[in-house]
């Protein structure tokens, strides 16, 4: 539904957009949607970046970190794992633990992406990243799309105010992940899944 409402940004618009100051040469297709949603990477074989129209209202450093987050998902291949998790959940829908595992996989991908984006960055940039998460939460709250305590998609796709609070807490201690591929991600996912069981 959102994809049908979105307008593609041409190369000149992407090049002039403050959010792409560090990614002006990206070949990724960028769509802009006038809706209070989180920025997200969509699609499996030809992924596109869906960018809310309110993003330019944020300070440029926050815009750049948001785009860097989504680009990191792409570099890590998270969109492939996301689709595999969704497929597993669809096929094994009758097993409750599969739903929990898929949620844990999404959580692990977000945490891994946060750590990779923030590795080696200054405290000022980390504060800007946390501020961008809170700004996204605020936009969704003002839109009325976030009933109190409901697991809505917030702040770069992570559900729930508690998840946002946990991510902001982890931003303070962000460090490089062991690697970009699945071997680095699955132990984190399994640990989180075991803790939730």
Every domain of the chain and the residues it spans: 59-196
Cβ burial 123-136 (10 Å sphere, 16+ → b, else e):
eebbebbbbbbebb
What confidence category does residue 124 fall into, taking pLDDT thresholds of 50, 70 and 90? Answer: very high
Whether the pLDDT of residue 61 is over 80: the answer is: yes
Q: Are 77 and 181 in contact (CB under 8 A)?
A: yes
Count of alpha carbons within 13 angstroms of residue 93, beta-carbon side: 4
The answer to whether the beta carbons of residues 29 and 13 sit under 8 Å apart is no
pTM for this predicted structure: 0.77
CB 97 within 8 A of CB 73: no
- Could you report the per-residue pLDDT of 187-197, keeping only the tens digit for each? 444 454 445 44
Range 82-99 average pLDDT: 89
Whole-number pLDDT of residue 99: 87
pLDDT, greater one: 160 or 174 = 160
**Alpha-carbon distances of 192 from 59, 113, 130, 196, rounded to whole Å:** 33, 16, 22, 6
């Amino acid at each position: 539904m959102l994809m049908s409402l979105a307008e593609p940004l041409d190369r000149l618009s992407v090049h002039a957009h403050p959010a792409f100051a560090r990614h002006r040469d990206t070949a990724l297709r960028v769509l802009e949607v006038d809706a209070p949603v989180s920025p997200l990477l969509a699609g499996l074989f030809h992924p596109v970046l869906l960018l809310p129209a309110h993003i330019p209202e944020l300070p440029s450093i926050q815009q750049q970190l948001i785009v860097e987050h989504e680009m990191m998902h792409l570099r890590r291949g998270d969109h492939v794992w996301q689709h595999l998790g969704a497929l597993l959940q669809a096929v094994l829908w009758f097993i409750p633990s599969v739903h929990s595992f898929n949620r844990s996989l999404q959580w692990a991908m977000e945490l891994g992406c946060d750590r990779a984006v923030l590795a080696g960055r200054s405290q000022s940039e980390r504060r800007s990243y946390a501020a961008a998460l809170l700004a996204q939460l605020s936009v969704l709250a003002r839109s009325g799309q976030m009933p109190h305590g409901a697991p809505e998609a917030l702040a770069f796709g992570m559900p729930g105010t508690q998840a946002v609070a946990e991510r902001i807490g982890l931003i303070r201690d962000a460090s490089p992940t062991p690697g970009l591929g699945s071997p680095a991600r699955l132990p984190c996912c399994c640990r989180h899944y075991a803790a939730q069981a």
